């Protein structure tokens, strides 16, 4: 049985591998980790175009679920995500990815951080942080409703930088 991560030895596969290697120059991962992405896996990835109405958190969650579900044995989840992330981007988001300084991304958390910073305006972060700091239990609302509203604000902006 063939794993969806391994490319078959044909012209298309070698081209895809070469493309992956050339494009991921901003990604700096251990060269000793040797696995290849198969086009079937790439087609399963969610896409993000960088448009105003797109939810970057949903994209990251769906991307995570796909990568975890398809992760080959013996390969670190972080390496899978770093290698596959480019293929989940389209349009303006892919152009942005190409503009990242070569060799500047070494971890999945760093990639996630720079992605969220790019596609989540600082003013929006500030507004949500202000809402989180000022949240109060409204008159007539249960503690459970208040807690759900608080958690929803935190989910909207996981990089709010408010200590637990």
Please give the residue range of the domain that contains residue 107: 11-120
Residues 80 and 150 in one domain: no
User: Is 4 part of a structural domain of the chain?
Assistant: no
**Selected residue with higher pLDDT from 12 and 78:** 78
Residues 85 and 116 in one domain: yes
Q: What is the pLDDT of residues 9-67, one digit of tens each?
A: 444 444 444 444 444 567 776 666 677 788 888 899 999 998 877 888 889 999 999 99
Residues 33 and 98 in one domain: yes
User: Has residue 161 got a pLDDT over 90?
Assistant: no
pLDDT of residue 4: 41
User: Is 5 part of a structural domain of the chain?
Assistant: no
Residues 86 and 108 in one domain: yes
Q: What is the pLDDT of residues 98-108, one digit of tens each?
A: 888 888 888 99
Residues 33 and 113 in one domain: yes
Residues 103 and 136 in one domain: no
User: Which distant-in-sequence residues (6+ apart) come within 8 Å of 77 by Cβ?
Assistant: 67, 68, 71, 108
CB neighbourhood size of 12 (10 A) = 10
The pTM score is 0.63
Residues 136 and 62 in one domain: no
Residues 96 and 136 in one domain: no
- Indicate the average pLDDT of the chain: 78
Tokens of 117: 């910073």
Element (H, E) at 14: helix 11-23
d(CA 114, CA 130): 22
What is the domain count for the chain?
2
CB neighbourhood size of 52 (10 A) = 6
User: Is 113 part of a structural domain of the chain?
Assistant: yes
């Amino acid at each position: 049985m063939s794993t969806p991560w391994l490319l078959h030895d044909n012209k298309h596969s070698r081209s895809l591998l070469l493309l992956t290697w050339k494009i991921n120059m901003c990604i700096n991962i251990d060269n000793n980790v040797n696995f290849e992405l198969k086009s079937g896996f790439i087609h399963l990835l969610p896409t993000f175009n960088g448009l105003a109405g797109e939810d970057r958190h949903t994209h990251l969650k769906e991307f995570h679920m796909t990568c975890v579900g398809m992760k080959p044995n013996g390969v670190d989840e972080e390496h899978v995500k770093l290698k596959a992330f480019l293929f989940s981007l389209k349009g303006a988001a892919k152009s942005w990815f190409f503009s990242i300084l070569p060799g500047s991304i070494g971890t999945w958390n760093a990639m996630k951080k720079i992605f969220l910073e790019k596609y989540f305006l600082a003013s929006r972060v500030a507004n949500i942080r202000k809402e989180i700091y000022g949240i109060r239990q409204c008159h007539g609302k249960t503690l459970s409703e208040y807690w759900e509203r608080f958690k929803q604000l935190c989910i909207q902006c996981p990089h709010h930088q408010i200590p637990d």
